[in-house]
A and B are shown apart, each in its own frame.
Chain A
Amino acid sequence: MTTAVEMLGIRKVFPGVVANDNVNLSVEEGEIHALIGENGAGKSTLMNVLFGLHHPEAGVIKIRGKEVHIRKNADAIALGIGMVHQKFKLVPSFTVAENITLGSEPRHRGIFLDRKAVHDNVMEISRRFGLQISPDARIQDLPVGVQQRVEILKALYRQADILILDEPTAVLTPKETRDLFGVIRSLVANGKTVIFITHKLREVMEISDRVTAMRDGKVVGVTKTTETNPTQLARMMVGRDVLLRVTKTEAQPKDVVLQIRDLHVFDDRNLKAVQGVSFDVRAGEILGIAGVEGNGQRELVEAIVGLRPAWNGEIQVKAQNLTTLNIRQRREVGVSCVPEDRYVRGVALPASIEDNLIVNNYFKPPIAQGPLLKPDVIARHAQELIETFDVRTPSKDVPAYALSGGNLQKVVLARELSAQPDLFIAAQPTRGLDIGSIEFVHRRIVEARDRGAAVLLVSAELEEIMSLSDRIVVLYEGKIMGAIEGARATEEGLGLWMAGITSEGSPEAAGH
């Protein structure tokens, strides 16, 4: 057996982050190779390097034993590499055949589309690989699973032998996943090589021949699938040395502040993102919501804050129904939130720090007096928050875009915490921050709890969830997979829940 892909000593640095640090990857021809790791472990970066979308600072790539230089996307395609991205790159109003042939369409008399050839080519290729598809259907009318098949056919049409699938099952239903696995097996039977990026361990066990695990930009293990088990893989993925331990006392939970009952929320594509979720958060405790991103966390937070309507169910804060209130009214009830999209919703980048700090209280005393703002109070308010939250900035008047990510997050924290919230929501609060800022944010979250706020922490970082939460709930496909005391949770256990595996081994049994 020959080696299809060999990546040696790959190093890729983004501003402030080493995404790939001396990474080696070797994929045999004709195998299904799983590439696993947490979000941000560097899997996608590595594959984007292979596909010519990123340029590594160092390292060698060999395809079928020959050293190659992949400068652009087209080079990779020419080498027979195809990639199916997590977010499909399809044109919704085009037919299946048009999408597959786009960019290299068969022509008729040089200037016209040869629509018959387009159709026939697609039929031929779909027959050859056993991927059933109707070439004339429009993408927008097709279910996600079929759209993915189109993406695969797109790569095959361009004669890909090496197929990269980036988290292909993230958007699929269980049945679609089974179909996809069938397709992958038939591809391999046709001599193709597949690299399968995922963090769902059950799937790794089911489909792959070998596994490479990544963590923090490094490869932490390579093994044959038959020689490992989910527990061991989970440890590899999440078992990083715990650098940050938050010192906190035992929680003193008091009354229920946030009460959610049978909540249903739709996402932007009119799909149900949150399906019948119920939980409570008490004053003086931190409830951590763990889960792979895209399992309904965003929609859950947006529904509580008021950015997205709740289709069904109850959201109560301090026994007051929130669903009929607008965002400001909810904030006045006592809801504060550090939003997930720090740069979009958290701050107005071109606005000054001072202005960014008053969006939740500019309309009431002491900041405002009637319709007028009180500049001296605003200045003092800003100065105080800058000091207490240690925002490193030359002045309160610089625009937010002049600050580093950590300082920006401090601005958001300062604003949201200065409202003395009863319910404090922190969504992915430390994503992309440096160690110092992470520690700072963690400390503030615990302080908010100790002051008596109910804290809802949403994070994809297991470590963060485990070190901060008093109780933990895991979301999977919009449902709660399980709940556990923070002290009793283990990384492996949570990791399995996050991957949709319950202790009994079937995700469907895990609802409630």
Chain B
Amino acid sequence: MDFSWILDILQRYVFNIANLQGMLRLATPVVLAGLCALITSRAGILNIAGEGMILFGAWFGVAGSYFFRSAWMGLLAAMLSGLVVGGLFALFSLKFRAHIIIMGIAINIFANSATIFLTREVFGVAGAFSDPNIAGLPPIEIPILKDIPVLGPLLSGYTFIVYLAWILVALTYVFLYRTPWGLHLRAVGENPQAAETLGINVQRVRFGAVMASGVFASLAGVYLSLGHLQMFTEQMAAGRGFIGMAVNTFGGGEPVGVFLSSLLFGIVETIGWRLQGERIMPVYFISMLPYLATLAALTIFTLRKQQAKKAALERAAREA
């Protein structure tokens, strides 16, 4: 049998510089959304409001950039929005004891309407807002590295947030496993009573986690609105908040796992774009791919977990 066609396809759709670049770009918002889900889930909080936080981040990124003519101000405005939305979410669900799922549903729908409303009121347009005055984030060329063949184009020349996402993955890892606060956060998530009896303020740790998740999500939003094209589109989060949750599950709640599973989603999306260019199948099926992939990933993940559980019981029975 001749398998060269597989290699051919792999080379064509995956392993070439342009595709890998696309993968890293498209994975970026998913990485950040995944970190948003990670930091809260590790603290034992079911945060489904990531989608709404991303939308706010995207809108305020554009607004900040437009009014101050500076992408950095956009970034700052977005991060502030993330802190505010995260803070409100934490305040309502942790302090005021609102049902956290209801709160999340409400925030997501609210964010959707609020950003549409704001776009119309502030910019006076419907659907999408783009303007030459919105400053985009410039690509960063890394000296020396950019001149190395293959690695140069692969790793250099992305916008700031792409690198920031990578750094944040590393920082999250260091935070979780190398700092006392990370230890506290994980303890709170796994056994809040244990943490409590050792004098850790569970409520405060969770508050912090939700605020951090707001910042992560807002960065994902800024990337969507300022990373590539400088525009805000209604509903531009497009489910990435939820895909982030799935990526976090699939990545086992680990920063590196989140990063790698996000790359997987990046590949799926890149292949989609590629296929679209070749007009092999209608664009709509390609657009479905990330969502289908999410469902598939969750199915595989839970099936495997279920099997492991069954095996554990059988093992216990054999030993007993």
Contacts and interface: CB of A to CB of B under 8 A. Distances in A.
Asked whether A and B interact, the reply is yes
Interface string B175-205: 0001110111011001101110111100000
Per DSSP, chain B at the interface is helix
B9 interface: no
A438 to B, nearest CB: 32
A73 interface: yes
A102 B195 contact: yes
Given A91-B194, A113-B183, 9 more contacts: A73-B199, A74-B199, A89-B191, A90-B194, A94-B186, A103-B184, A103-B198, A113-B178, A275-B320
A489 B11 CA distance: 82
B193 A89 contact: yes
A89 B198 CA distance: 9
Interface size class of B (residues with CB under 8 A): 20 to 34
Contacts of B313: 266, 270
A311 interface: yes
A65 interface: no
Interface string B192-228: 0111011110000000000000000000000000000
Interface of A: 73-74, 77, 89-94, 98-99, 102-105, 107, 111-113, 115, 154, 264, 266, 270-272, 275, 311
A266 B195 contact: no
B317 A103 contact: no
A92 B195 CA distance: 12
A248 B191 CA distance: 49
Contacts of B200: 102-103
- Give 10 nearest A-B pairs by CB, closest first: A103-B198, A89-B194, A270-B316, A105-B180, A272-B320, A91-B190, A91-B191, A91-B187, A103-B199, A74-B199
B180 A92 contact: no
Contacts of B191: 89-92
B184 to A, nearest CB: 7
B197 A89 contact: yes
B196 to A, nearest CB: 8
Given A266-B316, A266-B317, A92 B179 contact: no
B312 interface: yes
Nearest to B198: A103
Interface string B228-258: 0000000000000000000000000000000
Contacts of A94: 183, 186-187, 190
Given A90-B194, A94-B187, A107 B320 contact: no
A98 B178 CA distance: 11
B195 A93 contact: no
B312 A270 contact: yes
B104 to A, nearest CB: 22
B180 A113 contact: yes
B137 to A, nearest CB: 29
Contacts of B193: 89
Given A107-B180, A266-B317, A102 B190 contact: no
Contacts of B186: 91, 93-94
A235 B197 CA distance: 36
A94 to B, nearest CB: 7
Nearest to B193: A89
B190 A73 contact: no
Which interface residue of A89, A90, A111, A264 has the most chain B CB atoms within 10 A? A89
Contacts of A74: 199
Nearest to A99: B194
Contact of B195 (A103, A264, A270, A272): A103
Contact of B187 (A102, A104, A264, A272): A102
Nearest to B315: A270
Nearest to A108: B178
